[in-house]
Structure 1
């Protein structure tokens, strides 16, 4: 090959570089939320929690569709009914007579979705779930990647998974957001690999510890933005036990705390 992976056609985009003043900048509110397949609480409780997030887009991890352990309920479909949101499901594996994977919920139309299998060896198959969301005020659909990476203490597989995710995401032009349960802590090998292609939303004044929800010890859940954009973060919420949020008892709902970010896009 004379050239390689990054060919000129892959760089072509209708979304040209553009800056906005803080007054003109479009605003986006996003959240990542591991619902533990409703093994901690009911779908009604989870739906109320998702509505309390009041996010434009929510990346949801650990979703069952028609599995035996969840009573043969299509959790994605039921949550869409209970929340009034548009929700799409991405299958990671067949499990217990049904499917298990990720979901993306949105106040706005989800134009298309795609599942990318990540390297998983002989362990549970992991995926990146991609959705293109038509959010008002933005010049192009927002591409959201939702990921739930491997849990093994050795980070080697997670690093391979991030490399595959990055390899997929770099060929997607436009406005990009990555959210999910990365099953690793800040400044780990997994984290460092992610920061090659993504800007991690962080703030020294915010307690980002998200697991376990009842007494958080480590941060494993993240929201990140693509490096083509510049965002001004307006608000970050991680509803720790001592700072309740929207009257939801989060540890009674699931085992991860959500992370909620509201931000303005200053450069697209």
Structure 2
């Protein structure tokens, strides 16, 4: 083999090695970039090491069925890590100028954020998120509402122990009218506003819609329902429930095991409370284990 051929062969080996190293570096960089973009690295857990979370969604009807104090005591008995609240009054005339979220925080010992949807009766009316753990406001998303009551998405980040990153909690209460078009626009805006938020995400709230509609198909493009599609989970009206409109969803980016799922049945006493005497909606409660983040 002449010197020129040997030189060419050595050059080829060096180039190949450099390319392989460059490719390895590129792959590693891609993994790092992907991890950074997602906020957390992809990881699977066994049943033994999976972090756990208990969450609930509860429309408290502005305390009109009972009171903020009764709602607070009922939520304390529920013993959830995170609770999304809809129809929360802050210093309104109809609620006796009570800051309902603050009242519930005091009773439960939980931390909370309030998201104003509208001014109402000398105060404010909107959504709240309660947490046993530190919580920070991320943002309020104004949803398309036309000439109807302004609807919002209330988004907070909760630092839960044993989770690799804060959990993004999205709480909402969609339009009530039979015409589904406004709700479809609101769902699309929520999806648009949260699609690029990375990490562990949970969507909760009173969606004022049922599983069989195109609106709920739109939701499940990006979210997995904790309540199975074929499960009876009627939540309204609480004394004799007719339809299920209250939901918990997890992001398609994660996989969870459902250890427990509870919606009290009408006048059933659960955790020491007849929930129909607390609000006109029944709460939805679940215990989850994270199997893939």
With the shorter chain as reference, the TM-score category is: over 0.9
The correspondence for 2:215, drawn from 174, 185, 190, is 190
Higher helix share: 2
Point out the more displaced range, 111-120 or 56-65. 111-120
Question: By how many angstroms is 1:250 displaced?
Answer: 0.6
Question: By how many angstroms is 1:80 displaced?
Answer: 0.8
How many residues in Structure 1 have an aligned counterpart in Structure 2? Answer: 261
TM-score by structure 2 length? 0.86
Partners of 1:73 and 1:198 lie apart in 2 by: 35
Q: Does 1:120 align with 2:145?
A: yes
Partners of 1:242 and 1:149 lie apart in 2 by: 26
Q: Secondary structure at the match of 2:146?
A: coil
Question: By how many angstroms is 1:251 displaced?
Answer: 0.6
Q: Is the 8 A contact 2:92 2:123 kept in 1?
A: yes
Q: Is the 8 A contact 1:207 1:238 kept in 2?
A: no
Q: Is the 8 A contact 2:140 2:155 kept in 1?
A: yes
Point out the more displaced range, 73-82 or 199-208. 199-208
Q: Secondary structure at the match of 2:270?
A: coil
2:56 aligned partner? 31
Q: 1:219 to 1:29 in 2, by over 3 A?
A: same
State the 4+ residue runs in structure 1 displaced beyond 6 angstroms. none
The correspondence for 1:54, drawn from 59, 79, 84, is 79
Partners of 1:241 and 1:200 lie apart in 2 by: 22
After superposition, what is the alpha-carbon deviation per residue over 1:52-107, rounded to whole angstroms, capped at 9, x for unaligned? 21110000000000111111111111111111110110000011111000000000
2:20 aligned partner? none
Q: What root-mean-square deviation, in Å, do the aligned CA atoms of Structure 1 and Structure 2 show?
A: 1.7
Q: Secondary structure at the match of 1:144?
A: strand
Q: Does 1:75 align with 2:103?
A: no
Q: Is the 8 A contact 1:201 1:225 kept in 2?
A: yes
Partners of 2:229 and 2:247 lie apart in 1 by: 15
Q: Does 1:93 align with 2:114?
A: no
Question: By how many angstroms is 1:266 displaced?
Answer: 0.2
2:201 aligned partner? 176
TM-score by structure 1 length? 0.94
Q: Name stretches of at least 5 consecutive residues in structure 2 with no aligned partner.
A: 1-32
Point out the more displaced range, 172-181 or 192-201. 192-201
Q: Which of the pair has more CA radius of gyration?
A: 2
After superposition, what is the alpha-carbon deviation per residue over 1:10-31, rounded to whole angstroms, capped at 9, x for unaligned? x823311110001110001000
